[in-house]
Structure 1
Amino acid sequence: MRIVYMGTPDFSVPPLEKMIEKGHEVVAVVTQPDKPKGRSDKLVPSPVKECAMKHELKIMQPKKIREAEVVEQLKALNADIFVVAAFGQILSQEVLDIPKFGCVNIHASLLPKYRGAAPIQMCILNGDKTTGVTIMQMNAGMDTGDILITKEIPIEEEDTAGTLFDKLMYLGADLIAEALPKIEKGELTPIPQDDALATKCGKISKDMGRINWNDSAEKISNLVRGMNPWPSAFTDYNGKMLKVWTVKVIRENSDKIAGNMDELKKNAPGTIVQVNKDSFLVATGDGLLEIRELQLEGKKRMSVSAFLAGNSVNAGDKLL
């Protein structure tokens, strides 16, 4: 198929590579304009642009894809289909109507759940046990188009937003490769989304990472995992910000507990109740949480064992 591909971040690279590998003709790659980075404000291309340059593909970087000149350029490409993955701009109805097979989107959730910008983080924050990728026929709404094909995967207990991002990134590449020949042959039946089941998720902000120790250990664990690698979960310790990177919910009969678990749980939320060689246990609103990896303000990310080598932490200390 003749494809115009629209994408910008790392998530969008494997689908492009997979389509090229499968022999599709990518007639143009549309991505966001280069952005300044670092102290020098040097303009840096998006990951998708770098991939397109490697394959010597035509590159378009419109500030606004709905501008009349850009629309005419897209029409002139005579593409069969537009494939979109985390492009970063809303497509107008005029753009959606250009290709013969319309525009399809690779979305990192099982729609209609988690329409919007941060589906990977939100499924972890909400404690979901599964997630997946949806290939969707785009319309003018935000992730509201008909579902063409989905693939579900489990969310493992150790998964973070970062590890799940990687899994869904490659799953999306495989799924669009499976979907394209079926779309061309008319073998996929569009299924309208049930709006009554829809949930929305906006962008993640830094302040969402603040830990509320009155929450349950399970909920805090989900927060730590969902905020990893960005923006990170954090708390305050001795007047400094402490990022929390790796935790584990303490279950009954855990070999990490030196005393009586019921007694330890009676401590005020945020209280460090036990210090081990490689971790310390914190009371929460419901249960105990083991902190294994952290980062004190101004310092590098490190294991708790390394942190304890240079810092005095005692039972009774408080995290705020």
Structure 2
Amino acid sequence: MNNNLNIVFMGTPEFSVPSLKKLIEKFDVKAVFTQPDKPKGRGKKISLSAVKEVALEHNIPIYQPQRIKNEPEIIAKLKEINPDFIIVVAFGQILSKDILDIPKYACINLHASILPKLRGAAPINWAIINGESVSGNTTMLMDVGLDTGDMLLKDKVTITDDMTAGDLHDILMERGADLLVETIDKYVRGEITPEKQNNEDSNYAPMLTKQSGKIVWNNNSKDIANLVKGLNPHPLAYTNYKEKVMKIHKAKVMKKVYEELPGTIIKVDEDGILISSKDGSVLVEIIQFPGKKAMQVKDYIRGNSIEEGVILA
């Protein structure tokens, strides 16, 4: 392994952190680019990105462009650094061709799906929501398109029945760091043949919005349960119970079919809230109301009531 390689790292959220730490351990990270600091929470306290915190710990120069492709002084700085690789992991900004052409070897992106499936901003969530059985990471050469570059290496992960988006995120976050190091090492040695993506096999994983979490009870039970898992821990699936938003953290498919309209609360007990759906029913086990903590249904109903017969909207 060539430990003298100069790396510029671009990333922002927690998902990027293991990759940055592994690159610092194995190579010479010359600079870190991350999104600008943002106010967060009710107090609007300035929040640093997870990547910036790691860079500060290691005294690595940090750059936080608003729009990197529109800032000539940033592009000039990158040329001055003259990196062997630019490595991008969930940076959150699009790179121009001027930037892609700077490194000696390549700009490499770690993407949390098995490309060409699930290009876009939220591949981990949509893998669960769509009921996929396999996910994973792909390293690829970057081009000016959105996750359309030539593929380098892949690492597949089986999605188990009870896996949430949070679970999958944590697995891919750690394994992606190792895949990046392997990709850089093999690329320098000429042991990887880049593979074109077949656009006909691609689909899109759009950014999640609050509306993405609204449960349609007239859907199949499995689709509802997948939505709950795919939006856990954020932004969470939800429904309206008597005009109050009820967020749902955990739910599972029940096979029994009921005559009541989809969304009807059939039964409430220690096991959870049993709700009718298009093809069967769903048992909701963990809920959260506004201003309250998430609770097991069995704990919630000790001091509160959930009425049977109510139709959720």
Report the more deviating stretch, 62-71 or 96-105: 62-71
Paired position in structure 1 for 2:31: 28
Paired position in structure 1 for 2:15: 11
Report the more deviating stretch, 88-97 or 13-22: 13-22
Alpha-carbon distance in 2 for matches of 1:296, 1:95: 46
Give aligned-pair identity as a percent.
Answer: 46
The alignment's C-alpha RMSD in Å is 1.2
Paired position in structure 1 for 2:58: 55
Paired position in structure 2 for 1:256: none
Alpha-carbon distance in 1 for matches of 2:43, 2:242: 35
Partners of 1:278 and 1:303 within 8 A in 2: no
Report the more deviating stretch, 103-112 or 266-275: 266-275
Is residue 305 from structure 1 mapped to residue 308 from structure 2 by the alignment?
no
Alpha-carbon distance in 1 for matches of 2:56, 2:126: 33
- Cα distance, 1:276 vs. partner? 2.5
Structure 1 residue aligned with 2:144, among 140, 159, 170?
140
Structure 2 residue aligned with 1:295, among 263, 275, 288?
288
Alpha-carbon distance in 2 for matches of 1:203, 1:311: 35
Superposition TM-score, scaled by structure 1 size:
0.93
Alpha-carbon distance in 2 for matches of 1:138, 1:99: 12
- Cα distance, 1:45 vs. partner? 1.5
Q: Tell me how many residue pairs correspond in the alignment.
A: 308
Is residue 315 from structure 1 mapped to residue 308 from structure 2 by the alignment?
yes
- Cα distance, 1:272 vs. partner? 1.6
Residue identity opposite 1:33 in structure 2: P
Alpha-carbon distance in 2 for matches of 1:209, 1:44: 26
Structure 2 residue aligned with 1:193, among 194, 197, 200?
197
| Deviation string, structure 1 residues 207-243 (Cα, Å, up to 9, x no partner) | 1111111001100001111111121111111221111
Residue identity opposite 2:214 in structure 1: R
Alpha-carbon distance in 1 for matches of 2:310, 2:66: 51
Paired position in structure 2 for 1:159: 163
| Deviation string, structure 1 residues 7-44 (Cα, Å, up to 9, x no partner) | 0111110001111222x000111111111223443322
Residue identity opposite 2:285 in structure 1: R
Residue identity opposite 2:41 in structure 1: G
Paired position in structure 2 for 1:247: 251
Paired position in structure 2 for 1:102: 106
Paired position in structure 2 for 1:202: 206
Alpha-carbon distance in 1 for matches of 2:202, 2:33: 29
Structure 2 residue aligned with 1:113, among 114, 117, 126?
117
- Cα distance, 1:51 vs. partner? 0.3
- Cα distance, 1:314 vs. partner? 4.1
- Cα distance, 1:165 vs. partner? 0.9
Superposition TM-score, scaled by structure 2 size:
0.95
- Cα distance, 1:124 vs. partner? 0.8
Paired position in structure 1 for 2:238: 234
Alpha-carbon distance in 2 for matches of 1:296, 1:69: 48
Residue identity opposite 1:126 in structure 2: N
User: What secondary structure is seen at the aligned counterpart in 1 of 2:68?
Assistant: coil
Is residue 275 from structure 1 mapped to residue 268 from structure 2 by the alignment?
yes
| Deviation string, structure 1 residues 152-195 (Cα, Å, up to 9, x no partner) | 00111111111111111111111101111101111110000001
Alpha-carbon distance in 2 for matches of 1:272, 1:89: 44
Residue identity opposite 2:17 in structure 1: V
- Unaligned 5+ segments in structure 2 are none
Alpha-carbon distance in 1 for matches of 2:96, 2:310: 55
